[in-house]
Structure 1
């Protein structure tokens, strides 16, 4: 795990932002998740996580291309706006799509993504597929992105209880991904005001399949730093992934970025 602190304002900061990262292979033979973050100046930051779509081949290439594209674009234009976030996701989609090569393992490669951007006291985020962002404040979950998946569509129309998603055999069927044949739909949220005590968690489906929302909230509530937050999450993930591996159904790769605002 890595930690990076920066002041929101020149002089005495209103809060500091801590970042920690966690990435595990689960029970898979290769790692198809990718994550990274950039803080080019004292008032701006970008965090991104991606999960190469299984079954399409070259998932590790697709996810890394998306992460690299988004961070490069953000470093060039570190704006916390809907237009900029949409532009970053569009560029990442094109980066993955144009890297596809016929008659190779990556001919149909694609990836999910979740992105958080901050500037001064504002945050905006977006996602494609079923990688998620959680926003915690005042001891409760304020927002969770809605998966672009078949199951979430069934939940929305009342055909499936939300509690059934995590263990449903079709939970990995997503409706949109970066690199797909047509332009995917981008789900954007914000900007919203940030305050000391806020927490943001970006994670791939390998996390939320093993740890439910209540447990994710408790990990944040019981933590005193971003590193401590993800250490608690890792204590839940590792034995559950091992248990799933023992059943003959390998656990997915799991990755998370914790962003914690402390006074």
Structure 2
């Protein structure tokens, strides 16, 4: 099935003094049908977090443009995030700051395929229509408590330590990076990549219902508007990348005028 992509990125500073998120959506310059979406949420005090997130975007995007079909996509994502981690750590000595960043990266491939990687709590959701197919699992203290059964999902929503991360890019220890992928993408499928300034205000079911309500641009604007309202003056930075797959309509057959014999 031939598909076309309706995609956009969007941001809002929220109620913070600085926008420390970064987001990008780029097509490959040489390989048709290949694209990349990245969301990075920087941490580390004034300007430090922004520099870390910017490093993620720069490293991943640059390596992506040098990618060739002979390299496995997962290998590209893994090496790019590792390189970004190393560069962020090095900047600590130059800038005298303690920068860190989360990252979630999606790579779209020919043949309606995808692969993704994430570190931290910036999320990737994959929906088919309104139904959640899969999402990334946060590298956070609260998610760890959920996994071992110490708290319920309801308790996780208001847990006082919900923002504590177990890993990030630029930390003193090697980052934990997890991977996923989805093949046989079809019309009605969508990917939502976002920072915690967005997902913190929605259930998975709400997001699934919202992604079907308009174009990528319309949905992104609606998500940010709702998150801002629910943030009630205390909202975090918001970054969104939304990619929706649509069926390419078939061209009608040309009409042929028949002449009578």
Q: TM-score range by the shorter chain?
A: 0.7 to 0.9
* Structure 1 unmatched runs, 5+: 1-12
The answer for the alignment partner of 2:253 in structure 1 is none
CA RMSD of aligned residues (A): 1.8
Out of 217, 230, 237, the position equivalent to 1:253 is 237
The structure-2 alpha-carbon separation of the partners of 1:78 and 1:222, relative to structure 1 and needing over 3 Å to count, comes to farther
The answer for the alignment partner of 1:228 in structure 2 is 218
The structure-2 alpha-carbon separation of the partners of 1:173 and 1:93, relative to structure 1 and needing over 3 Å to count, comes to same
The answer for the alignment partner of 2:199 in structure 1 is 208
The CA deviation at 1:239 is 1.5
Rg larger for: 2
The CA deviation at 1:253 is 0.7
- Contact 2:37-2:107 at 8 Å conserved across structures: yes
The answer for the alignment partner of 1:26 in structure 2 is 14
The answer for the alignment partner of 1:109 in structure 2 is 99
The answer for the alignment partner of 1:53 in structure 2 is 43
- Contact 2:8-2:217 at 8 Å conserved across structures: yes
Please report the TM-score for the alignment, with normalisation by the length of structure 1.
0.86
The CA deviation at 1:215 is 1.5
The structure-2 alpha-carbon separation of the partners of 1:102 and 1:166, relative to structure 1 and needing over 3 Å to count, comes to farther
Q: 1-side partners of 2:86 and 2:52: how far apart?
A: 11
Q: 1-side partners of 2:153 and 2:168: how far apart?
A: 22
- 1:148-194 per-position Cα deviation (integer Å, ceiling 9, x unaligned): 00000000011111233333221110011011112111110125332
Q: 2-side partners of 1:78 and 1:119: how far apart?
A: 12
The CA deviation at 1:57 is 6.4
Q: 2-side partners of 1:21 and 1:138: how far apart?
A: 20
- Contact 1:18-1:261 at 8 Å conserved across structures: yes
Equivalenced residue count is 242
- Contact 1:198-1:260 at 8 Å conserved across structures: yes
Poorly superposed stretches of 4+, deviation over 4 Å: 54-57
The answer for the alignment partner of 1:95 in structure 2 is 87
The answer for the alignment partner of 1:135 in structure 2 is 126
The structure-2 alpha-carbon separation of the partners of 1:167 and 1:57, relative to structure 1 and needing over 3 Å to count, comes to farther
- Contact 1:34-1:50 at 8 Å conserved across structures: yes
